[in-house]
Amino acid sequence: MSGADMDSNHGGDPDLIVIGGGPVGENIAQYATEDSDLTAMLVEAELVGGECSYWACMPSKALLRPIEVRAAAAHLEGITTPELDTEALLARRDVWVSHYDDSGQVEWAEGAGITVVRGHGRLTGERQVTVTSGDGATTVLTARRAVVIATGSEAVIPAPYRDIHPWISRDATGVRQIPGRLVIVGGGVVACEAATWLRALGSEVTMLVRGDRILSGVEPAAAAAVRSGLEASGVRILTGCEASEVARTDAADTGVGLVHGGEVHLTTPAGELVADEVLVATGRRPRLDDVGLDQVGLEAADVLDGRTPDWLVAVGDASGEAPLTHWGKYRARVIGEQLRASWTGQPAPQAPPAGIDRAVPQVIFTDPQVAAVGLTEVQATDAGHDVVTATVPFNSAGGSALLRDDADGVATLVVDTGTRTLLGATFAGPEAAELVHAATIAIVGEVPVALLRHAVPSYPTASELWLRLLEELPRDYR
Ligand SMILES: Cc1cc2nc3c(=O)[nH]c(=O)nc-3n(C[C@H](O)[C@H](O)[C@H](O)COP(=O)(O)OP(=O)(O)OC[C@H]3O[C@@H](n4cnc5c(N)ncnc54)[C@H](O)[C@@H]3O)c2cc1C
Ligand SMILES: NC(=O)c1ccc[n+]([C@@H]2O[C@H](COP(=O)([O-])OP(=O)(O)OC[C@H]3O[C@@H](n4cnc5c(N)ncnc54)[C@H](O)[C@@H]3O)[C@@H](O)[C@H]2O)c1
C-alpha cells in the first residue's frame, strides 16, 4: 500500500459503507478496496446480490433462454420442436436464483474482504449509517471516508392499480401460478420480456400500451419486429389504450408469483377487459425515499442531480443513470477505482472518454431480440447531430439468414455526418444480443466508419450484417 494518509484500521470503523448489496453495491465495495488495506461494509436489507440476481435479470433470462431455443427449433427445417415443460422451466429458474438463498454471494463478499451487515440502512449523520435489523435492533456505523447509496430502484404503480394488489416484475420473474388471462400494463422492456415468457407458459396475454407503439426508446423498425413476434405468439397488443377504472374482488397479497385475488375488471377505450391477473410494468424509480437523505439535509433531487457532499456517492439504479446491471457495475468499477486511488495514492485509472454515457448498450430478450447501443436516429437528430443512416433486413447476410428460417428483423446504423463515426446501432433479430458489442467498441473508440470495412467478419456469421450495413452508407463514407 502506498499513500501518506493510510493507516491500518482493522477491527475499527470501515473506510467505506455501501447501503445496498446488489450487483452495483458489491462491485463498488470490491473496486474501492481491492489491493489495499481499505475496508468496506455492505449493508443489505434483503438478499446480497440484489434485485438483479433474484428477481430481475437472472430469473427472467433463465426463463427466456429455453423458450428462445424452442422458438428457434420451431423455425428450423430438419428438427422437431421441443416441448416446454413448465415445471422443469420453473425449476431451472429456481436454480438460477439459488433458491432465493444468498449464501454464495455472502461467501464471495467475505472472500473479497467485505463485511456484510444485515438490515435496512439509513443515513443518520455525516458518514453515519444506522442499520435496523429484522427484529428492530439498531446499530450505528460510521465510515471513515465515504458512504455509497446503491439501493437500486422500485416499481412504479400508477393510481388505478394501487388497490388491486397487481403483479409487479417480481411476480412475473418469480411466477409460481400461471394466470389464465393476464393483462400487462406498459409497453417497455419488462412488459415485452414478461409477455414473451408468460405467453409461452400458457397465459392469454393482453398488453395495454398507453403510447402508439411498444418499446418507444428503440428504433421504430426494431420495435415493430418485436410487436410482430409477440403477436405471432398470440399476444394481443392494444396501443393508445389506458384503463380509466380497475376493480378486483378479494385483492390480497397471497405471495410472490401467486395470483393476487379474484377477477380484475378494467375499463378501457377498447371496452371492458376481464383478467385473472394484471402485471404492472410501468417503469421504475430510484429507491431513495427511505435512506435518511433528510437527516443530512438532502433530497432525492440532490442525489439525482449529483449535488452530494464529497463523502456521499450514489451509483447504479439509485443514481438515476441507465437502470441496467452492466451500466451500474461499470460505473461502480470506475468510481470505486477513483475512490481507492484518491485514498491510497495508487495511480489513478484512465478516466472514461467524454460522452461515455451515450454508449450504453441494452439487449431486450424478446423474439426477435433487440440489441442496441447509443442513439437512435430520432435521439441523434434531437441531440443536434446531422446523421446518415443505413438499414438492412436482418436476413440480408448469409450468416444471419442461417440462424433461423424466419430470421426476420432489421439492423440500423446511425452515423454522424461531421465526424463520420457511429452514434448508434440497433440489431433486431435472432441472437442479436451478441452483435452489439462490436458497435459499442466502435462508438467508444470513435472508429471512423471508413475504417470499419477493414474489420472483416468471418463467413458465414451474423456479423456479416456489418458488411451489408456499411454498403448501405453513402459511397464516400465507406
Ligand atoms: C424484470 C427485470 C429484468 C431485468 N433484466 C435486466 C437485464 O437482463 N439486464 C440488465 O442489465 N438489467 C436488467 N434489469 C435491470 C437491473 O435489474 C437493475 O439495473 C440492477 O438490478 C441494478 O442494480 P443495483 O445494484 O443498482 O440495484 P438492485 O439490484 O436493486 O440492488 C439494490 C439492493 O439494495 C438493497 N437495499 C435497498 N434499500 C436498502 C436499504 N435502505 N438498506 C439496505 N439495503 C437496501 C435491496 O434489498 C437490493 O438488494 C432488469 C430489471 C427488471 C425489473
Ligand atoms: N433486458 C434488459 O436490459 C431489461 C429487462 C427488464 C428491465 N430492464 C430495465 O428496467 C427498467 C424498467 O423497465 P420497465 O419496462 O418497467 O420500464 P420502461 O420505462 O422501459 O417502460 C415503461 C412502460 O410503461 C408505460 N407507462 C408508464 N406510466 C404508465 C401509466 N401510468 N399507465 C400506462 N402505461 C404507463 C410507458 O409508456 C412504457 O411503455 C428499464 O428502464 C430497463 O432498462 C432492462
List pLDDT tens digits, range 185-237.
999 999 999 999 999 999 999 999 999 999 999 999 999 999 999 999 999 99
Q: Which atom of ligand 2 is the closest one to the Cα of 284?
A: 12
Same domain, 215 and 256: yes
The values of phi and psi at residue 472, to 5°, are -75, -15
Ligand number, closest to the Cα atom of 191: 2
Q: Is 64 in the pocket of ligand 1 (CB under 6 A)?
A: no
Same domain, 186 and 140: no
Torsional class of 317: left (φ above 0), alpha (ψ -120 to 50), beta (otherwise): alpha
pLDDT score of 450 more than 90: yes
Mean pLDDT of 420-429: 98
- Residue 368: CATH number of its domain: 3.30.390.30
Q: Is 190 in the pocket of ligand 1 (CB under 6 A)?
A: yes
- Determine, yes or no, domain membership for 300: yes
Ligand number, closest to the Cα atom of 240: 2
- Residue 48: CATH number of its domain: 3.50.50.60
Cell of residue 182, nine digits = 393476464
Same domain, 324 and 401: no
pTM: 0.97
Report the SS3 class of residue 120: strand
pLDDT score of 5 more than 50: no
- State the Cα–Cα distance between residues 129 and 121, nearest whole angstrom: 6
Q: What is the pLDDT of residues 263-303, one digit of tens each?
A: 999 999 999 999 999 999 999 999 999 999 999 999 999 99
Position 172 scores a pLDDT of 98
- State the Cα–Cα distance between residues 183 and 464, nearest whole angstrom: 39
Same domain, 278 and 293: no
Residue at which a domain ends, from 303, 320, 344: 344
Q: C-alpha 73: how far from its chain's center?
A: 27
- Determine, yes or no, domain membership for 5: no
Same domain, 232 and 377: no
How many Å lie between the centroid of ligand 2 and the Cα of residue 402? 32
- State the Cα–Cα distance between residues 51 and 53, nearest whole angstrom: 6
Q: How confident is the model at residue 348 (pLDDT cuts 50, 70, 90)?
A: confident
Torsional class of 355: left (φ above 0), alpha (ψ -120 to 50), beta (otherwise): left
Position 3 scores a pLDDT of 31
Q: Quick one: what percent of the chain has pLDDT higher than 90?
A: 95
Same domain, 369 and 469: yes
How many Å lie between the centroid of ligand 2 and the Cα of residue 185? 10
Q: What's the structural domain count of the chain?
A: 3
Q: What is the pLDDT of residues 166-198, one digit of tens each?
A: 999 999 999 999 999 999 999 999 999 999 999
- Determine, yes or no, domain membership for 87: no
What domain range includes position 112?
A: 16-54+95-154+286-344
Q: Is 201 in the pocket of ligand 1 (CB under 6 A)?
A: no
Same domain, 270 and 193: yes
Q: CB neighbours of 181 closer than 8 A, spacing ≥ 6? A: 203, 204, 206, 274, 275, 276, 277
Q: Is 448 in the pocket of ligand 2 (CB under 6 A)?
A: no
Q: How confident is the model at residue 465 (pLDDT cuts 50, 70, 90)?
A: very high
Whether ipTM > 0.90 holds is: yes
Same domain, 374 and 468: yes
pLDDT score of 10 more than 80: no
Q: Which atom of ligand 1 is the closest one to the Cα of 323?
A: 19
Same domain, 248 and 317: no
Q: Which atom of ligand 1 is the closest one to the Cα of 20?
A: 34
Q: Is 286 in the pocket of ligand 1 (CB under 6 A)?
A: no
How many Å lie between the centroid of ligand 2 and the Cα of residue 369? 16
Q: C-alpha 28: how far from its chain's center?
A: 18
Cα distance between the two ends of the chain = 50
Q: How confident is the model at residue 11 (pLDDT cuts 50, 70, 90)?
A: low
Amino acid identity of residue 362, one-letter, is Q
pLDDT score of 94 more than 60: yes
Ligand number, closest to the Cα atom of 324: 1
- Determine, yes or no, domain membership for 8: no
